[in-house]
Amino acid sequence: MEQHPSGLKLASWLVAAGRTVDPGASLNVPPIPASNFILGQGRSYARGDSTPTWEALEEVIGGLEAGKAVAFASGMAAVAAIFDQLPSGARVVLPDDCYQGVVGLAMAGAARGRWSVQRIALTDTAAWQQACTEADLIWLESPSNPLLTVADLDVICAAPRKPGTIVAVDNTFATPLNQQPLELGATVSVQSATKFIGGHSDLLAGVVTTRDEALWQQLHQTRTLAGAIPGTLEAFLAVRGARTLALRLERAQYNAMILAQRLLEHPLVTCVRYPGLPSHPTHTTAKRLLKGFGTIISFDVAGGAATADAVCRHVRLIRHATSLGAVESTMERRAAVAGQEHLPPSLLRLSVGIEDVHDLWNDLDAAIRATIT
C-alpha cells in the first residue's frame, strides 16, 4: 500500500489522522453541533469558520489524497462547487459514461447559457488531450459509472492545458487507496464520502481535495456563501467510517474478483464488466494505473429488463438498493434510473460488500436462475 508523506502507510494514516492530541482531550474529535462560538478565539460562525468535526474529516481525506480538502454536504454539493468556479460561457467536457447527477447538473447549466457541454469517450485519449488545451473544465470519472471504463488518467492529466483549466477527477469508485489523481496531475480530486469513505449507508457528504491554495480558498468561499456545509453527525460518521476503509476495501475487492469470475462463466449472464478481468476493454490500463480493481461489477442477464428487475426482487442477502460502497452488497438495474436510459436495459450494477463471498454467490446465482429458468 502507498506511503503517506508522514512515513506511515495510507492504511495507518486513516486510523491516525484527524485526532486530538491535547492531554485530557477525547481520543476522537467528537460531533460538535455548534452554529456559533464565543468571540475572540478564532471562530465566530460555523458556516464560514468550520467546526473541529468538519476539520477532522478534511484532515483525513486531504492527507489521504496528499492535498488540502474542503468538505461539503453531499457529493453533488462538492461537484456543484467546482462548476461554480467556471466563468460565464465556459466550455465543459464530460465523459460519455458518467454519473447521471453530474450530467444533469452540467446540462441544466448549459440550458441556462452558463456553459457549453461536450461529451468524449473515455477511451479516446487523444481527444481528451486536445480538449485540455481548449476547455475550462475537464471532468473525468475513472473507473466510470456504471460501465467501469478506466481512462488514461496519467496521460490526460499530464497533457498541456489552457491557463486556468480545471482538471477534475471523480475518484469515488477507485478511492484514494487505489488511485491518486493529484499525483497524476489533476487539479482536484472529488469524493462522494457517502460511498466508500462513510461505508455504512448512513450519511451524505462530499469532499474536494486540491493542491492549489487559491482554488482551495475559492472552494471554501463557495461553500460558505452557498451554505453547502456538512452536517455535524455526518462529518463525525464519515471520519469513523474512513478508519476502516482499507480493511473494507480489501475484503470487498477480494469478493468482487471472485464474483466477477463466476459471473463470467454463468450461462445466464451475457456480459460482465469488471476492470480486474482480462476480458474488460480497459483491463490493461487498469493494471497500469489502479492499485486495486474496486468493488463494483456491472453485468447483463439474459432475458432483458424484466428479467433483470426480477433478479433484483429475488436476491435476499444482497439488497435491492441504489448507491454503493457500503459494507452490505447492493444491486440495481441502472437503466431504470432517470438519465440512464441509454444503458443496456438488462445491466445490473452490483456493489460488492464484505459479506462471505460464498453466501453472496449462492444468493446471486439462485436469484438469476429463479428468474430465468
Among candidate residues 19, 43, 47, 369, the one labeled active-site is 47
**76, 79, 99, 27: which is closest to 56 by C-alpha?**
27
Residue 138 C-alpha from the chain's centroid? 16
Question: Annotated catalytic residue: which of 97, 152, 170, 309?
Answer: 170
Instruction: Kindly name the residue from 68, 97, 99, 309 that is annotated as catalytic.
Output: 99
Q: 204 vs 196, 231, 296, 347, 349, CA distance in Å?
A: 11, 8, 20, 26, 20
Catalytic site includes residue 254:
no
Which set of grid coordinates corresponds to residue 226? 452557498
Active site residue 99: yes
Are 191 and 172 within 8 A, CB to CB? Answer: yes
47 is catalytic: yes
140 CB neighbour count, 10 Å cutoff: 25
C-alpha cell at position 277: 478481468
What would you measure as the largest C-alpha separation in the chain, in angstroms?
71
What is d(CA 3, CA 5) in angstroms, rounded to the nearest whole number? 7
Q: Is 274 one of the annotated active-site residues of the chain?
A: no
Catalytic residue among 161, 195, 223, 349: 195
**Element of type H or E holding 12:** helix 10-16
Tell me whether residue 336 is exposed, middle or buried, using C-beta atoms within 10 angstroms of its C-beta: 0 to 12, 13 to 18, 19 or more.
middle
Report the alpha-carbon distance of residue 201 to residue 44 in Å, rounded.
32
Concatenated DSSP letters of 50-105? --HHHHHHHHHHHHHTTSEEEEESSHHHHHHHHHTTSPTTEEEEEESS--HHHHHH
Which residues are designated catalytic? Answer: 47, 99, 170, 195
